[in-house]
Amino acid sequence: MKKRLGLREFKLIILKLILSLFLLSVVWVLVYRWVAPPATLHMVQRRAEAGSAGKEDPAIRYRFVKLEEMSAQLPLAVIASEDQLFLQHSGFDFDAIADAFKRNQKGKNIRGGSTISQQVAKNVFLWHGRSYLRKAVEAYFTFLIEVLWGKQRILEVYLNIAEMGDGVFGVEAASQKYFKKPAADVGRQQAALLAAVLPNPIRYSAARPSSYILGRRVRIARAMGRLGGTTYIKTILPENEES
Q: Tens digit of pLDDT for each residue in 50-105?
A: 766 666 666 789 999 999 999 999 999 999 999 999 999 998 888 777 776 676 66
Identify the H or E element spanning 240. none
User: Distances from the Cα of 242 to the Cαs of 72, 97, 182, in angstroms?
Assistant: 6, 32, 17
pLDDT of residue 5: 59
Three-class SS of residue 230? helix
Q: Is 58 exposed, middle or buried (0-12, 13-18, 19+ CB in 10 A)?
A: middle
Task: Give yes or no for residue 242 having a pLDDT over 70.
Answer: no
Region 201-230 average pLDDT: 95
Vertex 166: Cα angle to 160 and 170 (nearest 5):
10
Q: What was the pLDDT predicted at 95?
A: 78
Residue 4: the pLDDT is 56
**Residue 147 pLDDT class (50, 70, 90 cuts):** very high
The CA distance from 147 to 135, in Å, is 18
Is the CB of residue 41 less than 8 Å from the CB of residue 161? no
Contacts of residue 10, defined as CB under 8 A and 6 or more positions apart, other chains included, come to none
Q: What's residue 6's pLDDT?
A: 76
3-state helix, strand and coil shares in percent for the chain, rounded to the nearest 5 = 65, 5, 35
Which one has a higher pLDDT value, 144 or 54? 144
pTM of the model: 0.88
Output phi, psi for 209, to 5 deg: -65, 135
In 3D, which of 198, 126, 122 has the Cα closest to residue 163?
198
Domains present along the chain, CATH in parentheses: 36-238 (1.10.3810.10)
DSSP string, 205-225: -SSS--HHHHHHHHHHHHHHH
pLDDT tens digits, residue range 159-200? Answer: 999 999 988 999 999 999 999 999 999 999 999 999 999 999
| Residue 1, pLDDT score | 46
Long-range CB contacts (within 8 A, 24+) of 174-180? 174/206, 176/61, 176/63, 177/61, 177/207, 178/206, 178/207
pLDDT at 107: 61
Q: How far apart are CA 120 and CA 156, in angstroms?
A: 10
Q: Percentage of residues in the chain with pLDDT exceeding 70?
A: 87
Average pLDDT, the chain: 88
